Chain A
Amino acid sequence: MEISVTDLSCARGGLPVLSGVSFQLQAGQALVLRGPNGIGKTTLLRTIAGLQPATAGQVQMPEDCVAYAGHADGLKAGLSVEQNLRFWASVYGQREISAAVGAFALTPLLDRLAHDLSAGQKRRLGLARLLVTGRPLWIFDEPTVSLDAENTRLFAEMVDRHLQGGGMALMATHIDMGLSQARVLDLTLFKADLTALAQDSFLDEGV
């Protein structure tokens, strides 16, 4: 299993943000995206997840391979923790949720409504959701926001186990979680410059 991104360019709100992004990810590897705010981390992750089209370049990966976890956890406030997990499990055709419950010590919370969870507890549930997807490539956008040190460690363990099992992870984060197999990709190298913008046909002097 391998994922390769070649010469990928992406745009946010019609403005090119990144261009020429290339990397490869083998089974068991993780890639951490770094860069200042606004560089286009979220845009790149959403492009790779297939939520928005790339303006140039390509992403090659096996079909049905991505599980995406964005800024929002996608939890339903009116459902309990267990119902939320079971729902996503059945969307991905899985039955077993015990691994997800175990990874973040969610057992005491199972019957609580997601509405009554704290921000950190919601995030734990949102991250545990990836364990019921059965997908090899996990994409995280700022996963450790509102997690305390203990849960950040649990998260790192969860990702490490996933990598050891042959999975892959791609994440945008600022903190160093001590993942064993992680490489770092600095996105400032790929910042789109004005030449990318100059291809806008409305900037032609004749207009």
Chain B
Amino acid sequence: MIYLDNAATSYPKPKKVGQAMLYFLEKIGASPGRSGHRLSLKAGRIVYQTRESLAQLFDVDDPLRIIFTLNVTEALNLALKGLLRPGDQVITSSLEHNSVMRPLRELQKEGVEVEVIPCSPQGDLDPADVKKAVKKNSKLIVLNHGSNVIGNLLPISAVGKISRDHGLLFLVDVAQTAGCYPLDLKKDNLDLLAFTGHKALFGPPGTGGLVLGERVEIRKLKPLKSGGTGSQSESEEQPDFLPDIYESGTPNTVGLSGLKEGLRFVLQKGAEKIHGYEFELTQRLIAGLKDIPGVIVYGGEGNKDRIAVVSFNIKDQLPSEVGLRLEEEYKIMCRVGLHCSPAAHKTIGTFPGGTVRFSMSWFNTFKEIDEAILAVSNIARRHKRGRG
């Protein structure tokens, strides 16, 4: 079996991830932040230490400015719905995932102005176009860092500078880059980071969060939900301090136990090293795919810096058919179709058919890449002959 669907959920995970989750269930179990007993404190420490590891990874001074959510979708919803009000303008790109596009379209109906900056068919975003879109009522710029469809990187450093120059907040969706690409919150002027635990951070599904940079004012970010926090229990009003204001209800302690170990793995290796290895895998894959007659690889040139996500099609074959044959004949797991990103597929010209997507992680090998290339080559060749 070859797993090439890491952009959806990474698999396998480092061994300790599952072990820590089982340990939590069997030996700790309790609710964090609710009671003063030993087990509750142990649970609380695990949640807190996960925050500390994330603070280390993202270079955040105060771990309490990291809010846990169910996944990156919830983090993006919290940021977008919490910050934007009717009459505000928000700037985004045509390469976004529906986790950004759908909340924005919902907000648009409530009177938020949504400006979508078109990217080139190669996925390039010109920062000058972002600058031109800034208006008096602009509040926020939201961009994904690495595309979940074609794997290119958006110019967050340049856009961060624009957002700072114009006094806007900058929200970055790091679903595909957190853990496998170096990030510098401060240098790149990023105000909010929405991340998920279950991709390159090697945590389980059900973990994610939102990092609040120092420029984000708590009173201006409305919580998505309210409820029990274990704090200020005498009051029926939501607390106004971090992280409780945004974290109501019992958290996913089992999941966070796993994420903590995933983060330990990432911090030990280092995002730079992980990226370096994945980049090599990706270069090899792209070169191999491009050599196959009838295969179209989408996105920019292969030697540009990028993440380990590659979209392609075989001429005259439906992505769904290619995906089925990859699994049935070669035991290769990948993802076909639109990848929850209709805007991105319209941008690269593959809407509504979509593409076949291979996405790698630290745990893939060069041998697997070579086998995948050979499989695609066989599928492309045999199809032609069949028609002949």
Do chains A and B stick together as partners? Answer: no
By a beta-carbon cutoff of 8 Å, the part of chain B in contact with chain A is: none
